[in-house]
């Protein structure tokens, strides 16, 4: 089967889930083809869209074809995330004040050879923004910056790394940083409370499904190793939602908020348009 139309002849669209794994710049046309072929249940890689325009197109497609779209966000199903949510809700260490999220990894080969992710904001930061919204609620962008990737004479604009600052409606400040030229992998979240600190480390790959959480307060420190196969758990939850009756909107709405914040950050970092060259001025004789 080479097309979704051919696939729809052999598969029951009502019982089929389509996984769209293309980069965000190619996603809108693929989802349109999926919908036109009769499929309604779709899993989409993060971020849902690359910019506000593509997001609007996907929203229209979803409304027109009554699609059920789930966007891959394993950190939202992570055991570590839910432990942090519980800490915040419990008020055990007072109110959260700041959140710092770091997502570093070396990504030279893929960034230089595989097109589709236009900026570093589209690679790791969707996870971080989603996590921040889950921990501290709705937010607005306060600042953003980005850097280029340069190696051995090759350069990819805006693919070296990215930073985004958020101020949540709850008063919490979040800083999210991603370095795609880092020599080491790290996925860390730090929540500073009024009377303590929680430091979490997500698994950096699928090789070992464990995360770690350290909580410090009043000179004491507690350390936990958590079984945390977040991707499997997220997938199980997604397929469970596909089996439920009625429209599922919560995950989709959450994913649109992530795209909107990332789009604001990318606009802040956008290079200014080149000014048109002026016509040469011919001096007039006095």
> Which sign, positive or negative, has the C-alpha torsion 210, 212, 119, 72?
positive
What's the residue count for the chain?
286
Report the pLDDT value the prediction gives residue 115, as an integer from 0 to 100: 67
The pLDDT tens digits of the residues spanning 139-174 come to 999 999 999 998 888 888 889 999 999 999 999 999
Q: Which domains does the chain carry? A: 4-73+235-264 (3.40.50.720), 75-230 (3.30.360.10)
Q: What is the average per-residue pLDDT within 6-19? A: 88
* Rounded Cα gap, residues 157 and 154, in angstroms: 10
| Structural contact between residues 60 and 35, judged by C-beta atoms closer than 8 angstroms | no
Does 283 score more than 50 pLDDT?
no
* The model's pTM: 0.89
Mean model confidence pLDDT for the chain: 89
The pLDDT tens digits of the residues spanning 100-150 come to 999 999 998 888 777 667 899 999 999 999 999 999 999 999 999 999 998
Q: What is the tally of helices (H) and strands (E) in the chain?
A: 8, 11
47 preceded by a cis bond (ω within 30 of 0): yes
Give backbone dihedrals phi and psi of 74, rounded to 5 degrees, phi first.
-60, -30
The pLDDT tens digits of the residues spanning 265-281 come to 999 987 543 333 434 44
Does 284 score more than 90 pLDDT?
no
Q: Name the pairing type of β-strands 41-44 and 68-71.
A: parallel
Give the ranges where 120-183 is alpha helix by DSSP (H): 125-136
Report the pLDDT value the prediction gives residue 1, as an integer from 0 to 100: 57
Residue 109: which H helix or E strand, with range? helix 108-113
> Which sign, positive or negative, has the C-alpha torsion 134, 80, 165, 94?
positive
Higher per-residue confidence, 12 vs 280:
12
Q: What is the average per-residue pLDDT within 9-31? A: 89
The pLDDT tens digits of the residues spanning 70-92 come to 999 999 999 999 999 999 999 99
* Rounded Cα gap, residues 79 and 216, in angstroms: 19
Does 22 score more than 90 pLDDT?
no
Report the pLDDT value the prediction gives residue 246, as an integer from 0 to 100: 67
Does 187 score more than 80 pLDDT?
yes
Which residues fall within 8 angstroms of residue 122, CB to CB, at 6 or more apart? 23, 24, 47, 50, 262
Buried b (16+ CB within 10 A) or exposed e, 255-264: bbebbbbbbe
Q: Give the sheet arrangement for strand 220-227, strand by strand.
A: 139-151, 154-168, 173-179, 96-106, 181-193, 196-201, 210-217, 220-227
Q: Is 97 helix (H, G, I), strand (E, B) or coil?
A: strand
Report the pLDDT value the prediction gives residue 152, as an integer from 0 to 100: 86
- Torsion of Cα atoms, 78 then 80 then 82 then 86, to 10°: 180
């Amino acid at each position: 089967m080479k097309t979704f139309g051919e696939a729809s002849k052999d598969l029951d669209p009502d019982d089929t889930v389509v996984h769209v794994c293309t980069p965000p710049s190619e996603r809108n046309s693929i989802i349109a083809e999926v919908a036109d072929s009769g499929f309604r249940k779709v899993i989409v890689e993060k971020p849902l869209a690359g910019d506000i325009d593509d997001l609007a197109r996907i929203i229209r497609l979803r409304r027109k074809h009554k699609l059920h779209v789930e966007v891959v966000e394993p950190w939202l199903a992570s055991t570590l995330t839910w432990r942090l949510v519980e800490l915040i809700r419990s008020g055990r260490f007072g109110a959260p004040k700041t959140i710092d999220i770091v997502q570093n990894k070396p990504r030279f080969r893929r960034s230089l050879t595989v097109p589709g992710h236009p900026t570093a904001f589209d690679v790791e930061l969707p996870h971080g923004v989603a996590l921040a919204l889950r921990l501290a609620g709705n937010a607005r962008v306060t600042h953003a910056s980005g850097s280029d990737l340069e190696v051995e004479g090759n350069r990819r604009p805006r693919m070296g790394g990215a930073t985004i600052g958020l101020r949540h409606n709850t008063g919490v400040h979040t800083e999210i940083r991603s370095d795609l030229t880092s020599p080491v992998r790290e996925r860390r979240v730090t929540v500073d409370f009024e009377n303590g600190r929680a430091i979490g480390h997500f698994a950096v790959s699928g090789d070992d499904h464990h995360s770690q959480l350290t909580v410090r307060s009043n000179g004491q420190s507690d350390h936990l190793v958590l079984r945390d196969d977040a991707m499997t758990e997220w997938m199980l939850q997604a397929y469970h939602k596909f089996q439920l009756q009625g429209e599922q909107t919560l995950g989709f709405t959450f994913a649109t908020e992530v795209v909107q914040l990332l789009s604001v950050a990318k606009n802040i970092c956008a290079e200014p348009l080149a000014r048109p060259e002026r016509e040469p001025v011919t001096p007039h004789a006095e």
